[in-house]
Structures are given as C-alpha cells and as structure tokens.
C-alpha cells in the first residue's frame, strides 16, 4: 500500500461517529477524508472526494444508507462500500444484497470485527457476518419468500404502506397515480395471499418492511 486508504464515514449518532472517526484516524492504513451525519451530505462528499472506502449507517436522515450505497455503487464504481447497522430484518438485508454491497457489520460487533471488515472490503474482497448469510440462506430456501414473490416496486410500495402513508401520498412520492398505487396494493395482497389491509401491514412488520422517515 503506497498511501492510506481515503475513507468517508456516514453515521448520524454523534458519539458512535466520533468513536469510529478516532479509531480510523489512529490506524495508519486509513485516512479519514470526511465524517458526516446525513445521507445527502454523505452523497455530496462521496461525489466530491471519490474515496477508497465508504462506511455508512443504514438508518440516516436525508437519504437512507441503502439509497446512498446504491448511488455510490452505481455512480462511483471504484469506491468500496461497507454497511454498519443494527437493522437485521430480512427486507433491509435483502436490499443490501440486491444493490451489491461489499460488506456488512452489525453495530453490536466488537471494533476488531469492523477493522477486519474494512481491510477485507477496501482490498477488493467481501465481508458479511453470519446474520446476513443466514438471512439470505433462509430467503433462498423459502419458496414463499417475499424476494421471490414481490418485485422491487412492490417492495418499495409495501414499505411505504407499512409506514402509514396513504395511496395519494405514495403516488406523489413515486410519481404514480393514486389508482395505480391502489392497483399495486391489490396485486401485492393477491401475490401474498392476504385478504385485508390489516394482514398486509402485519406481514410488512413481520418481514421488516419499515423504513425510518
């Protein structure tokens, strides 16, 4: 390694962000180019600095970490991306896998695991803890898993339904008519074999289709 790996850290919890920033600065293999608390600011910084490594939380204000990671993976393919989160639901883990995230570490893991993951990811490898591997294996083995039944758009709408948004609000957010959203809801229920909105919301919560506002 000729020079330290330039790293951007995006974490909205100030105490954790400061602890991680200090740990990164103490490691001569890494250079902390920026540490920010907001997903939109993280996007701006990555676009401007094009770091070697992005470490991002998933639950972020402005733009959630999956959207941030997806943007970076698509627009800045040289940047390696490591997700740091305490969200372990099947929906979130599946979203991370679908966008092609390079690594994932839960916040309850020791710092040594994060350091190991950082090295693996930034050197071109992948790093996934047992949680995400187990979750993906379970989805793969289950013929009724939502990932095999619902399209990406279906999942996005179900996530917003679980958040309590109306068909009108969902339509405005996704640039769809209210009628189109209601058609999607009907088809989602039919695909899942559900008979009421209450059952739909219950299914959404059990499978982690909840996104922080």
Instruction: Let me know whether 131 and 54 are in one domain.
Output: yes
- Whole-model pTM: value is 0.73
10 Å Cβ neighbour count for 142?
Answer: 12
Domain limits for position 181: 146-206
Compute how many other C-beta atoms are within 10 angstroms of the C-beta atom of residue 78: 8
Among residues 90, 107, 139, which one ends one of the domains? 139
Q: What are phi and psi of 179, to 5 degrees?
A: -65, -40
Distances (CA, A) of 133 to 90, 153, 175, 207: 11, 24, 35, 16
Q: How far apart are CA 142 and CA 76, in angstroms?
A: 34
pLDDT at site 204? 87
- What does the pLDDT profile of the chain (213 residues) look like in tens digits? 579 999 999 999 999 999 999 999 999 999 999 999 999 999 999 999 999 999 999 889 888 898 999 999 999 999 999 999 877 667 777 778 888 999 999 888 889 999 999 999 999 999 988 766 666 666 666 677 777 788 878 988 898 888 888 999 999 988 899 999 999 999 999 999 999 988 998 888 887 776 544
CATH number of 43's domain:
3.40.50.2300
Among candidate residues 93, 116, 139, the one where a domain is terminated: 139
Question: For helices 167-174 and 178-192, what crossing angle results, to 10°?
Answer: 110
CB atoms near residue 148 (< 10 Å): 10
Residues 63 and 24 in one domain: yes
Q: According to the model, what pLDDT value does residue 87 have?
A: 72
User: Do residues 79 and 130 both lie within one domain?
Assistant: yes
Which residues fall within 8 angstroms of residue 50, CB to CB, at 6 or more apart? 76, 78, 79
As a whole number of angstroms, the distance between CA 96 and CA 109 comes to 18
| Domain endpoint, select from 111, 139, 167 | 139
Please give the pLDDT value at position 119. Answer: 96
Distances in Å between the Cα of 153 and the Cα atoms of 48, 158, 182 are 30, 9, 13
Same domain, 128 and 46: yes
Assigned domain for 211 exists: no
CATH number at residue 171: 1.10.10.10
Q: Please indicate, yes or no, whether residues 104 and 150 belong to a single structural domain of this protein.
A: no
Residue 212 has a pLDDT of 43
Residue 212 lies inside a defined structural domain of this protein: no
């Amino acid at each position: 390694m000729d020079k330290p790996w330039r790293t951007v850290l995006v974490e909205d919890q100030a105490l954790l962000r400061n602890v991680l920033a200090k740990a990164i600065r103490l490691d001569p293999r890494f250079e902390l180019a920026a540490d920010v608390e907001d997903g939109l600011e993280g996007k701006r910084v990555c676009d401007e600095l094009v770091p070697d490594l992005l470490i991002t939380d998933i639950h972020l204000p402005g733009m959630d970490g999956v959207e941030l990671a997806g943007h970076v993976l698509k627009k800045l393919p040289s940047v390696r991306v490591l997700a740091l989160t305490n969200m372990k639901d099947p929906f979130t883990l599946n979203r991370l896998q679908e966008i092609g995230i390079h690594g994932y570490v839960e916040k309850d893991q020791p710092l040594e695991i994060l350091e190991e993951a950082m090295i693996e990811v930034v050197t071109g490898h992948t790093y996934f803890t047992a949680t995400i591997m187990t979750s993906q294996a379970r989805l793969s083995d289950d013929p009724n898993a939502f990932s095999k039944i619902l399209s990406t758009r279906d999942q996005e709408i179900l996530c917003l339904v679980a958040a309590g948004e109306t068909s009108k609000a969902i339509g405005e957010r996704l640039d769809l008519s209210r009628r189109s959203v209601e058609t999607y809801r009907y088809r989602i229920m039919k695909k899942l074999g559900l008979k009421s909105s209450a059952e739909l919301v219950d299914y959404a919560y059990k499978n982690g289709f909840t996104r922080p506002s």
